[in-house]
Chains A and B, each alone.
Chain A
Amino acid sequence: MNDCSAITLSHVSKVYSNGTIALQDLNLVIGEGQFISLVGPSGCGKSTVLRLIAGLGEMSSGSIHWGRGHAQRKLAFVFQEAALMPWATVQDNVRLPLKLAGVGKAVAERAVAEALEMVDLRGFERSYPRELSGGMKMRVSIARALVTKPELLLMDEPFGALDEMTRSRLNSDLLELWSQKQWTVIFVTHNIYEAVYLSNRVIVMAARPGRVVADLPIAAPYPRTEAFRTSPQFNEYCREISHALSQTAGSPDAQRRAARKAFV
């Protein structure tokens, strides 16, 4: 990892039309090649950060500065749902970004094959999304993000809807790809273990108003093995983040929300 910053968010605020303050005076410097996780309670604006970086929606104030040689078009977004076009085959779904960019068919086909290879989905080119399992759909979604060869990967709780085994499998696959390609990744999750296992930096956010309350480096070296998941060091990081999160749950508002969530 080098010190060159990829994105700098300065004094970013976002207020929705109903008056909800999604983000208040957020300052964040994201280094090139970092794997950053954003964790925090619902409504803390972690998804809003991703959407603002992606250019989906305007910020109310502040600015986002892109590092030298970076541009918004080199980013890719992975949503919580796979968000595939149900009427199109796996192949056509993955090809979509290239098709929209007007890339020639031959070039696109090679890129699609490469992307599917990366997520281990060769042989499913002609399948339709409904024929795939949840994990496989997510792989297609990731392949679609990778097909443009992005430098910045924005992932909004991509594995949130998956079962634990599929999730940890996809976690290690993602980490392997990241170490090969050296992308910058911003990863939103509810899952502390996932955040610690994947990232070299975890940002803990609090809600109402959305803000950063802790910024913790995860110093464990890559590649991270299964053994890391059970190490004392791993547990220590989890405990630390857990503690930071519990601080954020102090306001009565947050408690109410937590109670409501438990009820649901």
Chain B
Amino acid sequence: MPSGGLLVKHLFSSYSLMRGLTAFLLKFLVDRLTQPVRSSSPSGVIATSLFSSFRSFASGQMLQNRSGKPAPVRQWLLSPDLIAPLVVGILVLVIWEVGVRISGIEPYLLPGPLLVMQTLVQEWGTLFPSLLTTLKITIVAFVAAIVSGLLVAVLFTQSKWIERSFFPYAVILQTTPIVAIAPLIILWVRQVVPGEKSTLISLVICAWIVAFFPILSNTTLGLNSADHNLVNLFQLYKASPWQSLLYLRLPSAMPYFLGGLRISGGLALIGAVVAEFVAGTGGTRSGIAYQILMSSFNLQIPRMFAALLMTTVLGVLIFALLTLLSDILLRHWHESAVKREN
């Protein structure tokens, strides 16, 4: 997330808060989507963060207390999982607000949280469409990264030679700073596709470059991590390469692939925002980064904070949704999603 030093506290508190809120909202959704599972969820033992409680909801389970009995929503609302980070968050916000008021610091240096919220409400009409534009770029790039990452990973496992020849270039693609090549990409795309669509396409390409690699490397690792005995078993029963891929390698790669998704989802958003920054005011004039940039040029710092807050929340939502997806898909079998009592 693009954040100045001033914002760290603010971002931190809104980040955990959002997780809690997302968890709460998703709970109702999840309860309708999934059936309760037999096993229990982590109780107080690892319950150090809101996140763990979010995950137990995500797996479609009722949160359970130490005795193993299902706990009602009211009990979850009173649990330390929610209360502890909430108290910290509120405390930080209050100190911030009070500090800003007492010190009399100018809002263009550091606005108080109340002012930021107020600005957010006031500017919603201009900021939200921008956020949607950025979201659109993010989603297109993310989907492209998923499809291409998956296909290339499968290609890599089909032939060691292909992997040997091309993997280093995938690494280079990843390690090249996107800020540095974004202007080039924008320039090149403009040569090929003139007009309105040009910037949009170059932004998507930038976000794709950032999101592609985690999916590729994780999925490649996963495809090669099939249980040795199962590989032998498939060999024994004369499975075709296609059958091995479909019934053994792809399912084995699932947890790795989903892990890659969780990293790439956030990266796609960052990629989109960074590319928008580079495209700057000469670009589409519509993404959230453009709004952040314009706000800072005009010294509308509260507005800039509001835009930042929206971007952060969007990033957290993307992560939360991908975690939910991962937990639902893996809840029957993978350690990451299986809840144990001990």
Contacts and interface: CB of A to CB of B under 8 A. Distances in A.
B248 interface: yes
Contacts of A79: 229, 232-233
Identify whether the interface residues of B are mostly helix, strand, loop, or mixed. helix
A223 interface: no
A54 B236 contact: yes
B235 interface: yes
Given A73-B238, A100-B243, A83 B332 contact: no
A85 interface: yes
B333 A97 contact: no
A100 B234 CA distance: 8
A188 B247 CA distance: 29
Contact of A77 (B38, B233, B238, B334): B233
B105 to A, nearest CB: 56
Nearest to B255: A87
A56 B229 contact: no
A100 B230 contact: no
Interface residues of B, number: 21
Nearest to A98: B237
Contact of B239 (A75, A87, A100): A100
Given A79-B229, A83-B230, A131-B38, A100 B238 contact: yes
B254 interface: yes
Contacts of B83: none
Given A128-B333, A130-B338, A85 B248 contact: yes
A87 B254 contact: yes
Contact of B236 (A77, A81, A85): A77
Interface string B245-257: 0011001001000
Contacts of A217: none
Contact of A85 (B230, B232, B237, B243): B230
Q: How many A residues are at the interface, by size bracket?
A: 20 to 34
A49 to B, nearest CB: 15
Nearest to B38: A131
Nearest to A144: B233
Interface string B209-235: 000000000000000000101101111
A100 B243 CA distance: 7
Contacts of B333: 86-87, 128-130
B78 to A, nearest CB: 31
Interface centre among B227, B234, B332 (most CB of A within 10 A): B332
Contact of B232 (A73, A77, A100): A77
B332 A128 contact: yes
Interface string A81-116: 101011110000000110111000000000000000
Contacts of B239: 100
Contacts of A131: 38
Contact of A56 (B232, B243, B247): B232
Contacts of A85: 230, 247-248, 251
Given A87-B254, A87-B333, A55 B236 contact: yes
A172 B322 CA distance: 48
B110 to A, nearest CB: 51
Contact of B237 (A83, A88, A96): A96
A83 B229 contact: yes
A83 B233 contact: yes
Contacts of B229: 79, 81, 83
Contacts of A73: 238
B202 to A, nearest CB: 39
B334 A86 contact: yes
Contacts of A130: 332-333, 338
Contacts of A148: 237
A129 B227 CA distance: 14
Interface string A58-81: 000000000000000101010101
A99 B237 CA distance: 10
A145 to B, nearest CB: 10
Interface centre among B239, B243, B333 (most CB of A within 10 A): B333
Interface centre among A88, A100, A131 (most CB of B within 10 A): A100
Interface centre among B230, B234, B338 (most CB of A within 10 A): B230
Given A77-B236, A100-B234, A87 B227 contact: no
Given A86-B333, A86-B334, A87-B254, A99 B233 contact: no
Interface in B231-279: 232-239, 243, 247-248, 251, 254
A56 B237 CA distance: 11
Nearest to B230: A83
Contacts of A96: 233, 237, 247
A78 to B, nearest CB: 10
Nearest to B244: A100
Nearest to B226: A85
A57 to B, nearest CB: 9
Contact of B235 (A56, A83, A87, A97): A56
Interface in B322-337: 332-334
Contacts of B251: 85, 87-88
A86 B38 CA distance: 17
Nearest to A86: B333
A93 to B, nearest CB: 10
5 contacts: A56-B232, A77-B232, A85-B248, A100-B234, A130-B332
Given A77-B233, A100-B247, 6 more contacts: A55-B236, A75-B236, A79-B229, A100-B238, A101-B237, A101-B238
Ranked nearest first, the 8 interchain pairs of A and B with the lowest CB-CB distance are A83-B229, A86-B333, A100-B237, A79-B229, A100-B239, A87-B251, A128-B332, A87-B333
